[in-house]
Amino acid sequence: MLLLFSSQRGHAALWSGKDSTTAVISGFVKDSASGETIIGATVRVRALKLGAITNKSGFFSLHVPSGQPVLIEVSSLGYRTWKLAVTLHSGEERKLNILLPVQSMTGEEITVESSEERERQEPQVSRVTLTPKEIQDLPKIGQGDLFRILQFLPGVQTSSEISSGLYIRGGSPDQNLIMLDGSVLYNPSHFFGFFSTFNPDAIKDVELIKGGFPAEYGGRLSAVLNVTDIEGDRNQTQGKVDLGLISSSATIQTPVGTGALVLAGRRTYLDALLNVTGLTQKLSLPDYYFYDLNAKLTQNPSPNDKIVLSGYQGSDNLSFIANTAVNNIELQYGNRAAGAEWTHVFGSELFTNLGFSASNFNSAFTIGSSAQPFTWTNAIDDYTARASVDYFPNPENTMKSGIQATSYKTTLLIQSGTNPPNANVDLTPYYAAGYVQDEWKPAMTGYVDDPLAITGGLRVDGISSNPEIGIDPRLSARYILTPAITLKASAGIYHQYLKLATNDIIPIFDIWLPNDASQPPGKAYQYVLGVSTVPFENYTFDVETYYKDMKNLVELQPNVTSASTLNDIFFVGNGTAYGIEFFLQKQAGRFTGWLGYTLAWTWRTFPQINNGQPFPPTYDRRNDFDLVGTYHLNDRWTIGATFTYGTGQAYTQITALAPDAENEGRAIPIDGNMNALRLPPYNRLDLSATYAFGFFSDKRNAEFDFDIFNAYDHRNVWISEVDQSTNPATITDVRLLPILPTFGISVSF
């Protein structure tokens, strides 16, 4: 992505792209030790206020003046700055293969450069990036988890501490486009939402766009989470083993051919420990485990070509043998994904990407004896082909266009024994999309270093099972008011063609169904306005306000036993979400971290719910305060802490019990107004300490982690439960996890 860094007003520009003969510098930026490409590295010509950002493949293209010396500087968070002085001829295209050495952190002073300049100059609003180191250094339960770190960002929350679902700016989890190496994941959670499916040891880059995402992304209403796994060390074989109380993982990278191979695996083993000790049978506990497997092969058949093959498989498995066979439970759910991607560079100004992916989510639930079981199975298959082109024609424009075609297959089977199915759904619609966008830097003053950048785009998409075609214009702008203050804004229209039936409290079953002709697709109008500042050296302070108007949202109808259309399954309504976010962040030095605060409102309106009056969904949180910090005491010890405080989630209270006319002796609960009450405020402090040491090595190749979850043992309320067996009925708060210390060790080799 090409950026132009502004000069202050009144300073004469050194070069005007419209009046000078130009040359082009392009290439890849890589880690000097492993040979892995670096995403988001900044390429600058400081004297001319010119710059570029490497894309997901580590590629950049930069127009510079010819016939005069220019100093190229390349930097990235955690790496030493690389410099090269060059003089190019008119029309010359110079390709570079830039290797950045990792910044040493063993001395008294830690001088790792932050990415604050890149983030301020970035035209994209509401964009946050995280590194694997940030995930690993913060408190964890057994192992670091991506979703648990994202939940500490302003505008991002979860329904409880045992849920990994992300509720972003008033949107539900199904409104987030979640991708791993280009493949869509439809249920990225383990352990009933306690962990996400992303193995932290396999992660290379995390990009979260909380709103106002550009035209290249679609099919969702709220946000985009784009995770890229590591490509592997091309120079030597290396690995890492993590041993924890709950789970362990192993990762290995090795050179293969013209690239590298990465294999990673993770598994819990509480089931094995409980079985060995006999506690599973003694305490009548379920037999449960989950696992993840990641694989990625990267090859470079030529300097201009890269081929990537990636795969993922994860599964949760639970089995409970009850005293009575009719209460036996079997539960299995998981994701599988595979992808192939080919990138090719044509010259210095054209970057192309061609990809294929297959993704599957399935769940199977069985209760009862094997002779007469009740079964509930559902699945979604996604087969996608996509192609995109990045074009860098001149310093003023960065253009991108692409197409996508997806074949869906969704199934749902609900059946009791050998009886005819209660539900048997098998749908195979097709989705197609095309987009074009341009990042334009108008030279309003006659110079190419003008502070204004505008990104405009259009996405057109639709699904074969519904006649409506989505016409989605997107527009965002960035204006550098001063070297320390940047203004940003965006507006756009978004469509969603998949519906999700789930439970916000216990998200075991995620039933994805495509739009049919009975209901229109979801639609959202998003508006974002923000300012990014640098109040002190190495600090950024961002403020963003947003407003979302959402149409054709759905809520699952109660007691659905049979259905032929979506109208038989979902109520249709509208919603709004608006708020303001404050984000103070420090990314460089011994102390790093952030402080975030969100003030937000979320409303839903359905004619059939709450007498048609607006109500807040369960995840509406008026106030949300988060504090995250990591401090490097020295080259051995690192300590971390996270603290969160938020308004209690909304819930509906039973207000009365009425006699059941059809079942004598039973009562029917009568609900009050929808989500009219609030649970107590949520708050929690987590602590961690990491000690680095040498494990049969002169190098510090191992770390010991000690973590305390819920350090002051505050038992937050999960749900408010009404016991109807007492007279009068009593209300009991079901509480979440107590203080939970854990430890683990990781060894790299």
What CATH number corresponds to the domain at position 393? 2.40.170.20
Boundaries of domain holding 27: 2-103
CATH number at residue 87: 2.60.40.1120
Question: Which residues, including other chains, have CB under 8 Å from residue 619's CB and lie 6 or more apart?
Answer: 157, 158, 159, 167, 172, 504, 602, 649
Structure tokens at 364: 């199977």
Q: Do 440 and 484 lie in a common domain?
A: yes
Across the range 388-395, mean pLDDT stands at 91
Hey, what long-range contacts does 405-409 have (CB within 8 A, 24 or more apart)? Answer: 405/430, 405/431, 405/432, 406/382, 406/430, 406/431, 406/432, 407/381, 407/382, 407/383, 407/431, 408/380, 408/381, 408/382, 408/498, 408/514, 409/379, 409/380, 409/381
> 241 and 252 in contact (C-beta within 8 Å)?
no
The tally of domains found in the chain comes to 3
Q: Do 220 and 231 lie in a common domain?
A: no
Across the range 646-654, mean pLDDT stands at 88
**Residue 541 counted as domain residue:** yes
The CA distance from 409 to 414, in Å, is 17
Which of 69, 103, 137 is the last residue in one of the domains?
103
The CA distance from 10 to 3, in Å, is 21
pLDDT of residue 375: 86
Task: Using the predicted structure, report yes or no on whether residue 105 has a pLDDT greater than 70.
Answer: no
Task: Tell me the CA distances in angstroms from 200 to 26, 204, 236, 238, 430, one per residue in order.
Answer: 31, 9, 21, 16, 33
Q: Do 155 and 29 lie in a common domain?
A: no
Task: Using the predicted structure, report yes or no on whether residue 120 has a pLDDT greater than 60.
Answer: no
pLDDT of residue 18: 42
pLDDT of residue 10: 34
pLDDT of residue 157: 87
Task: Using the predicted structure, report yes or no on whether residue 3 has a pLDDT greater than 50.
Answer: no
Which of 103, 133, 165 is the last residue in one of the domains?
103
Could you tell me the end-to-end alpha-carbon distance of the chain, in angstroms, rounded to an integer? 35
Across the range 593-606, mean pLDDT stands at 96
pLDDT of residue 330: 87
For 47-76, what is each residue's pLDDT tens digit? 887 888 899 899 999 888 888 899 999 988
Task: Using the predicted structure, report yes or no on whether residue 456 has a pLDDT greater than 80.
Answer: yes
Task: Using the predicted structure, report yes or no on whether residue 459 has a pLDDT greater than 60.
Answer: yes
- Conformation bin of residue 193: beta by default, left when phi > 0, alpha when psi is -120 to 50: left
Task: Using the predicted structure, report yes or no on whether residue 12 has a pLDDT greater than 90.
Answer: no
Q: Do 465 and 567 lie in a common domain?
A: yes
Task: Using the predicted structure, report yes or no on whether residue 347 has a pLDDT greater than 50.
Answer: yes
**Residue 112 counted as domain residue:** no
**Residue 369 counted as domain residue:** yes
- The 3 state secondary structure assigned to 556-595 is ECCCCCCCCCHHHCEEEEEEEEEEEEEEEEECCCCEEEEE
Q: Do 699 and 560 lie in a common domain?
A: yes
Q: Do 57 and 151 lie in a common domain?
A: no
Which of 79, 103, 127 is the last residue in one of the domains?
103
Q: Do 219 and 230 lie in a common domain?
A: no
Buried b (16+ CB within 10 A) or exposed e, 524-553: bebbbbbbbbbeeebbbbbebebbbebbbb
Peptide bond into 728 cis (omega under 30): yes
pLDDT of residue 506: 52
- In the chain, what are the helix, strand and coil shares in percent, each to the nearest 5? 5, 55, 35
Number of helical (H) and strand (E) elements in the chain, helices listed first:
5, 48
Task: Detail the DSSP E strand segments found in 131-194.
Answer: 156-157, 167-168, 176-180, 183-184, 189-190
- Phi, psi (5° rounding) for residue 282? -65, -40
pLDDT of residue 720: 76
**Residue 561 counted as domain residue:** yes
**Residue 611 counted as domain residue:** yes
Residue with the bigger pLDDT between 278 and 389: it is 389
pLDDT of residue 17: 42
Task: Using the predicted structure, report yes or no on whether residue 272 has a pLDDT greater than 60.
Answer: yes
For 287-331, what is each residue's pLDDT tens digit? 889 999 999 999 999 999 999 999 999 999 988 887 777 778 888
Edge-first strand order for the sheet with 59-65 is: 59-65, 22-31, 93-100
Task: Using the predicted structure, report yes or no on whether residue 16 has a pLDDT greater than 60.
Answer: no
**Residue 21 counted as domain residue:** yes
Q: Do 196 and 303 lie in a common domain?
A: no
Task: Using the predicted structure, report yes or no on whether residue 588 has a pLDDT greater than 60.
Answer: yes
pTM for the model stands at 0.90
> 227 and 197 in contact (C-beta within 8 Å)?
no
Q: Do 530 and 592 lie in a common domain?
A: yes
Q: Do 546 and 691 lie in a common domain?
A: yes
Q: Do 451 and 410 lie in a common domain?
A: yes
Across the range 626-642, mean pLDDT stands at 93
- The 3 state secondary structure assigned to 358-375 is EEEEEEEEEECCCCCCEE
Q: Do 217 and 295 lie in a common domain?
A: no
pLDDT of residue 121: 61
CATH number at residue 156: 2.170.130.10
**Residue 109 counted as domain residue:** no
Mean pLDDT of the chain: 86
**Residue 113 counted as domain residue:** no
Task: Using the predicted structure, report yes or no on whether residue 431 has a pLDDT greater than 50.
Answer: yes
**Which residue type is seen at 586?**
K
